[in-house]
Chains A and B, each alone.
Chain A
Amino acid sequence: MQEACCPELSSILEISDVQMHFGGIVALKGIRYAVPPGIIQALIGPNGAGKTTLFHCISGLIQPTFGHVLFEGRQIDGMLPHKIARLGISRTFQHVALFKSMTVLENIMLGRHPKTKSGFWATGLRLPAMRREERKILETARYHLDFVGLGDSANLPAGTLPLGKQRILEIARALATDPRLLLLDEPAGGLNIRETEVLGDLIQRIRACGVTVILVEHDMNLVMEIADRILVLHYGSQLASGTPMEIMDHPAVIEAYLGGG
């Protein structure tokens, strides 16, 4: 599914001194962090810590006020989101952002956008190359549909799915872009225990395909179970980082999480 990432690179994503100011609010106060390739990197922190803001900075939806974001050694801050998607970063949204009136399959087919190129005139005229490409899009979308286990909902409007399946569908749509880095923003939000287990399993299968995953999540059981490394944000600053074991025993983290209420 993936092209091999440049082996000499020790980090797939490098965040260097990223600051984000919203008027007077400083949502990110200079984040400096590198994500090694091929792992599940958890990003945790209390509400308002700046996790989603950091995702927006990486995926290009907002421009960091200061600092840079490097993906596979290439500077991506300042690029438009669709260009970043083409480079191999995809994401999901904290508040599910599916195309609700499109079918489940169409949602995943849309995810093939960065990897296909038929233009307006080619599609209107149904040129042969476009038809071939359309068949391939369908084929790949079905593969991803089965990969996440939504095969039986293919032709339902995405908006009619229960929340659990919507979150899974968002992941499938993101996978369809063939990302090398996948950003998941609270994928377990609103899911029950059983669904969360399935999700955890899916995320591990995604890592097994060679995709680096950054996971924002409040469900600590899930994080501790599947994350390889954890970065803790607190009011826009880095509080701690390390393996799940290290983080669990980290005094500052215990203070922030338990001391704060």
Chain B
Amino acid sequence: MNKKDRWAFVGMGLLIAVFPGVALNVKCISHYVDVMVFAGIFSLVSLGLCMLMGYAGQVSMAQAAFFGIGAYSSGILTSRLGWNPWMAMPAGAGVAALVAWIIGVPALRLKGHYLAMATLGFGVIVHIILGEEVKWTGGPSGMVDIPGLQIAGWKLTSEVAWYYMIWSVVFMALLFCLHVIYSRVGRGLRAIHEEEMAAESMGVPTACYKVQIFVFSAILSAIAGSFYTHYVTCLNPGSFNLMWSIRFVLMVMVGGTQSLWGAILGAVLLTFAGNEWLQIFSDFEILVYGAMLLCAALFLPGGLASLVPKVIGVFRNSLTHLCKR
């Protein structure tokens, strides 16, 4: 981790820590704590996807499917088989990891964007299975009465408790990712992104690294799915379709593919957009997302994260101007 990241980490930590205190005291935004729980859950997905897109240079269109695998594993194992949620979570992550590995090994051996295509197909298959396997998944009507989470015998019931729990997890995941990026493996990943042939010639096992990152992104998605399940305590297959996979890709792109901070920013922004601000568009939501994707790609290729240093620069300049006067 470099100095900038350390400051960003502290700054964001403070922001996240004080947010409920502010939001709960202002009536019209008090439900934002709830939205932020979802934002935290989706941040886990976008962090993993950001590692894949920004550092391994690959796109996955199946993050919603991995999210669904995690969600339904938790749902089925806890409500049908009576497992402890904290046991069901790694089980779901394990299934997602195995599946990602099976898809990733052949798709990532090949050069180019075979992973995007393979995951596109896989996402559709998972969505269909979730809708058809009525006996286990409840089919199109989904599952209800899934237990909530408990930490050391203490039930997580309030939104605020969930908020702090999930954002702690997000920070741990972020820390993990930052450690990877600023290390041997991360240098290898960044090298792949810049000059794949040179990276391979300098001893970086490029295909192997891509598979690892893909598996990692699937694990994070599945864990996010488990949290989601226990937070909403009911499931329906609609939350795990292609549209959601696109939304996850969009989160990363809006935030900035090369920035883990951007991935979180994008997740928060799009969660608020989806849950709050874009409700009026209802059926045309997808159009709005399309437009956002287009704008991000055309006008802000570095994502919102690339704006932050600029904003800070402007701020600094105007501050020095003021001081001089």
Q: B-contacting residues of A (Cβ < 8 Å)?
A: 59-61, 80-82, 85-86, 90-91, 93, 97-102, 106, 109-114, 116, 118-120, 123-126, 130, 133-134, 137, 173-174, 177
Contact = CB atoms under 8 A, between A and B. Distances in A.
A114 B195 CA distance: 17
Contact of A110 (B204, B212, B213, B216): B204
Contact of A134 (B176, B184, B203, B212): B184
Contacts of B205: 80, 82
A98 B202 CA distance: 11
A99 B180 CA distance: 18
Task: Categorize the interface residue count of chain B.
Answer: 20 to 34
Contacts of A134: 183-184
A102 B194 contact: yes
Nearest to A133: B184
Contact of A99 (B190, B201, B212, B216): B190
A257 to B, nearest CB: 30
B190 A102 contact: yes
B12 to A, nearest CB: 19
B202 A124 contact: no
Contact of A120 (B185, B187, B195, B199): B185
Nearest to A183: B201
Contact of B198 (A86, A93, A118, A137): A93
B200 A110 contact: no
For the residues of B in contact with A, the DSSP-based class is helix
B191 interface: yes
B179 A110 contact: no
29 contacts: A59-B201, A80-B200, A81-B197, A82-B200, A82-B203, A82-B204, A85-B200, A97-B197, A99-B190, A99-B199, A102-B191, A106-B187, A109-B187, A110-B187, A110-B199, A110-B202, A113-B188, A113-B202, A114-B203, A119-B185, A120-B180, A123-B180, A123-B184, A124-B180, A125-B176, A125-B179, A130-B184, A133-B184, A177-B203
Contact of A97 (B190, B195, B206): B195
Contacts of B203: 82, 85-86, 111, 113-114, 177
